[in-house]
Structure 1
Amino acid sequence: MTKNDSVRTALALAVRADLPVLLWGAPGTGKTSAVVALGRQLDLPVEVVVGSVREPGDFAGLPVVRQEGTWFAPPRWAERLASAGSGLLFLDELTTAPPAVQAAMLRVVLERAVGDLVLPEGVRIVAAANPPDLAADGWELSAPLANRLVHLDWEVSPVDVADGLAHGFPEPDAVRVVPPSRAGVAAAKARVGAFLRVRPELVLAVPGTPERAGRSWPSPRSWEMAAIALAAGEANAATEAGVAALVIGAVGEAAGFELLSWLRTLDLPDPETLLDDPDAPLPDRADRLHALLGGLVAHVVADGGAVTWERAWTVIGRVSKTTPDVAAASARTLAANRPAGAGLPSALLDLAPILRSAGLMP
């Protein structure tokens, strides 16, 4: 598998998981063609909007006076996406868009709003940019906009180009991906949260230079995107390289590699196995226990069954005997998601002091 195969996989996963993506690459390397092909494979209409030839009003909307007040009218491309109900919005040449245009595009990425029009949930956002040193009149990407995107590096293989010129450029293999489930995302967030308990200094690490701030870096927002990327990879049994590209693209190389290395050492039991075997061995490290209980609670909440909910308290009770602070965090979430008709298991009596400390019992 070439590097661009991993990037194509990462791009497809991100689109299905509704993660905004930015492809970095030199001009003329096929970024637009790849996005258009992906839209065709996913049966999504594609709207290409070139930032370098747009004005802020093309994203913030143009004021139109009406009887009931002023309406910020969206451009035609936004109306077409809204009418279709789904699609790919491809924002090209971000680094050749001046700061005022980037600021207007920020609201599109963050709030999915174009003027007074809100794009449907079925619209996905993909962007592309040339490195500033390769872009005519290039600008560094603003830090707020950069931190709302997953950054992927698009490279060209000389062999692929040579073969394509000689024999034609083949259509990429059809992409079949599914979005991650809510339970999968919740479990992935629990694992990422457990990692950040070990490395709290990585929760927010704003780069000190405009060049680095214009790429991926750790923040609460980008860690959430990394968790969604992990869940998307697991839902599709994606390659490790594809998932790694997304995680690193969300939080940067240093933080991303550290998270991925930490995850490889977890080796946690499956939640169903843990619920079926109350005596199953538990990890002895607090960070692994946080990840274990987070995944267990996510599984129980997604299941929604009273029996599963009651059985989970036995596991939390075991953890409370060695690390009550870890048990309290999961007990709070589990108690807040009690299914209708669920009884109070005897394990809750042993957990009374922990529940009081968590504010869940008088």
Structure 2
Amino acid sequence: MITPAIGTTELYKQLEILIKTDTPVFIHGSPGIGKSYIVNDIAGKNNLEIVDVRLSQLDAVDLRGIPTISNEQTKWMPPVFLPTDPDSEGILFLDELNSAPLSVQAAIYQLVLDRKIGEYTMPKGWRIVCAGNKIDDKGIVFKLPSPLINRMVHIVLEARYDDFKAWAIKNSIHPFIIGFLGFRPDLLSSEVPASSETNPAFCTPRAWNMLSNIIDSTNEINTIHPVVYGTVGYGAGIEFISFVKVYKTLPDIDAILSGESQSVPEEPSALYALCAAIIEKYENSAQAKNLFAYSKELPVEFAVMLIKDLILKDESIAELDEFEEWLEKYGEYIV
């Protein structure tokens, strides 16, 4: 039986519980979907230190420490990255666990089981979070020993567009990306290509974020087609470039925000692009009042999407009288 996967929003909730109860957890997920980002973000939000260890790059001796002689006895010197302050609190993030050599996995087993390794004991305020890729992601992945599996809670993470969009709006991801993935949410994350394919790039939230940063640095996407293909893959890249051409035919966004235009495109791809462009340029509640009126000109699903995304960017608009009036018409469509 396949374990149901969860999105990033749900992962935040579950990790909060597991960290609070000091329960070791293993997050399974494809490359580039945000496992490391989420663990680091949770540590920051809870004022916890974090030690990020990439286990695939270590040997067992790197964890247990180098042996030294003291008083005619062998003593193991633990690595400097393991926390030692008894009053500290944090997350020991063991990434790429199932890509690590079996000898390293065996060493981690003692750390997860007893919170010890060699002569090292982890401070009580520290929690263990592990992560790794799925076996079918065509990476270097080893099956974990069953005793180690049984000492952790296992959660499968998958990329979901709604979670990505909420993060993207708050982190100023380029509207080209948000609009395109609204139109083609299935391309947020794609399968890892076969090794025989000439272009090994594929879609992940990390790849789209990287492409957003690249687009922010140039005004001419027509000059970076090879970069687009090399970031998200050729098929997705072709579709994305075609979408950008639609994006550039949109009505005047500033005129819509100022209440001077009620122009509405007809094509669904253009409507997704329009909503993303409006959210990107939105600045204040005066514009929000105009957008409540403008949304009534849109098809229902886009009217609801626009206002929901607007609230993600500016929660204060929910206090406007215009929002209450808008809810009377569209409240039944909000999930």
Could you say which TM-score interval applies, normalised by the shorter chain? Answer: 0.3 to 0.5
